[in-house]
């Protein structure tokens, strides 16, 4: 049984084969010797490109997994029509998906939303939080535009990453005389220890910061699992992170 993604891949391979790049053309040892001695010319740029494209096709075919992103329901539907070999493979994927769902079900969920806490809750909600959970705490102060933005961005992330605990606390409630100039401050805890702190939004893009900026920075310490492969803003290759 061939699904749509498989058909697309086979069509791509067919096109590449028509162009003469259906597979890498490996040279023989004898050809390499002749080239080395100048008997036959070196490969042209076109030949090199052709071989590289062929290798890409071969690698894509070898690595392609038609079941990798299917959920339990989709796998069950395919199981009904599968032969014995396909059934064995699909059962394996189904078992893996069920295991993932069970693991997620056993984890505490915190989102969506950023919960406001007070000084007398700090020990319970932050210091003594579940060891496996990451805790992101926003120290904020009223009347500061950057604090309003930081809270808005963390609310977006709290909706997306429900297994991370997002909290907010008035800065001077958490730390007596904490200066407004350091607000907002974002603290990341795990197992009662501070992993990293971000003081102000200037470490990102100031008032132009967005949820992707914070998501990328939090992913660098493991607090969230992002799908992004690179920083959201290429002009800024990294963030000024203060580890503690």
- The proportion of the chain whose per-residue pLDDT surpasses 70, expressed as a percent, equals 55
Identify whether residues 141 and 200 lie together within a single domain.
yes
* Interacting residues of 210 by C-beta distance below 8 A, sequence separation 6+: 153, 232
The position carrying tokens 């796998």 is 75
Q: Number of folded domains in the chain?
A: 3
Identify whether residues 119 and 215 lie together within a single domain.
yes
Identify whether residues 124 and 222 lie together within a single domain.
yes
Domain range for 127 is 115-243
CA distance 82 to 97: 18
104-107 long-range Cβ contacts below 8 angstroms, 24+ apart: 104/163, 107/132, 107/163
SS3 145: helix
Q: What is the pTM of this model?
A: 0.56
Q: Which domain CATH number covers 236?
A: 3.40.30.10
**Mean of the per-residue pLDDT values for the chain?**
76
Identify whether residues 119 and 17 lie together within a single domain.
no
Identify whether residues 124 and 210 lie together within a single domain.
yes
Give residue 213's pLDDT: 95
Q: Where are the alpha helices (DSSP H) in the chain?
A: 4-18, 29-36, 45-63, 72-79, 84-106, 122, 145-160, 171-174, 211-219
Residue-wise pLDDT for 68-96, tens only, equals 666 767 756 765 655 566 666 667 767 77
Phi and psi at residue 170, in whole multiples of 5°?
Answer: -60, 130
Residue-wise pLDDT for 165-199, tens only, equals 999 999 999 999 999 999 999 999 999 899 999 99
């Amino acid at each position: 049984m061939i699904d749509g993604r498989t058909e697309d891949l086979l069509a791509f391979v067919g096109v590449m084969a028509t162009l003469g790049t259906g597979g890498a053309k490996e040279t023989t040892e004898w050809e390499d010797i002749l080239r080395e001695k100048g008997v036959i010319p070196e490969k042209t740029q076109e030949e090199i490109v052709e071989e590289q494209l062929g290798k890409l096709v071969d690698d894509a075919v070898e690595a392609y997994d038609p079941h990798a992103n299917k959920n339990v329901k989709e796998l069950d539907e395919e199981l009904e029509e599968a032969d014995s070999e396909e059934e064995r493979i699909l059962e394996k994927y189904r078992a893996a998906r069920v295991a993932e769902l069970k693991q997620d079900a056993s984890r505490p969920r915190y989102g969506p939303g950023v919960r406001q806490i007070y000084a007398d809750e700090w020990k319970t909600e932050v210091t003594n939080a579940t060891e496996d959970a990451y805790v992101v705490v926003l120290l904020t102060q009223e009347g500061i535009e950057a604090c309003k933005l930081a809270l808005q961005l963390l609310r977006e992330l709290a909706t997306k990453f429900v297994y991370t605990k997002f909290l907010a606390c008035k800065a001077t409630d958490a730390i007596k005389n904490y200066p407004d100039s350091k607000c907002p401050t974002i603290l990341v805890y795990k197992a009662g220890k501070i992993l990293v702190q971000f003081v102000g939004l200037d470490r990102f893009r100031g008032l132009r910061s967005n949820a992707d900026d914070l998501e990328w920075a939090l992913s660098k310490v493991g607090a969230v699992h992002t799908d992004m492969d690179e920083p959201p803003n290429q002009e800024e290759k990294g963030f000024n992170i203060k580890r503690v």
